[in-house]
A and B are shown apart, each in its own frame.
Chain A
Amino acid sequence: SYVLTQPPSVSVAPGQTARITCGGNNIGSKSVHWYQQKPGQAPVLVVYDDSDRPSGIPERFSGSNSGNTATLTISRVEAGDEADYYCQVWDSSSDHRGVFGGGTKLTVL
């Protein structure tokens, strides 16, 4: 089965840029989606199809995907961005199933 690997934690000072990676075998050939989850809340889609943003998501959130790594970039980080972030792909190679990365805790220093 397909595996997505994320760093457990990323720390960044307010106003700086945070980059959260998501590794997977030839992930560049897949569409990667990113979710933000704050404590006690349901996940929220922040980037879909590698780099598109749903309406209402600030332009500070962007994504890229190439080779074996996809990246969520959050520019001008704010205290309110502190949350867990999960990458996700759809694995239809052998069976149809969703795959999530293990999640990354973003801490705003």
Chain B
Amino acid sequence: EVQLVESGGGLVQPGGSLRLSCAASGFTVSSNYMSWVRQAPGKGLEWVSVIYSGGSTYYADSVKGRFTISRDNSKNTLYLQMNSLRAEDTAVYYCARAADGYNYLDYWGQGTLVTVSS
């Protein structure tokens, strides 16, 4: 059974950093496209970042230069390092899988809440 479990969310001050984790089971992270998608309170979905099976990474303009997506193949885990956090980064962050070569997100985690506030 495919499962994605996010962790690492919490309250952080503006300008601070946080690292989110997404532990996967039932499939191999490095063989798929893995994305982070966020949802601000009461708002819609916003795509944040993707890492392809080959290792290429891409980001939304809103986070480029501040966020870094990565994976640990030995732990079958996806990460999102978030630096220079702003109030507008406050959101539930979901990790999601797209099968290799496809661009629809067929499995999602339950999400982790990040709150940026002083």
Contact = CB atoms under 8 A, between A and B. Distances in A.
B44 A103 contact: yes
B45 interface: yes
Interface string B74-118: 000000000000000000001000000011111011110000000
A16 to B, nearest CB: 25
A103 B45 contact: yes
A44 B108 contact: yes
B110 A42 contact: yes
B50 A42 contact: no
A88 B104 contact: yes
A84 B44 CA distance: 9
Q: Which 4 A-B pairs have the closest CB atoms?
A: A98-B47, A90-B103, A33-B104, A48-B104
Given A1-B61, A90-B103, A95-B58, A42 B44 contact: no
A98 B50 CA distance: 8
- The interface residues of chain A, by DSSP majority, are classed as strand
A61 interface: no
B34 to A, nearest CB: 12
Interface residues of A, number: 26
Contact of A86 (B44, B59, B61, B110): B44
22 contacts: A1-B61, A31-B103, A45-B104, A45-B106, A48-B104, A48-B106, A54-B106, A86-B44, A86-B45, A88-B45, A88-B105, A89-B103, A95-B58, A96-B56, A97-B60, A98-B35, A98-B50, A98-B105, A99-B47, A100-B37, A100-B46, A103-B45
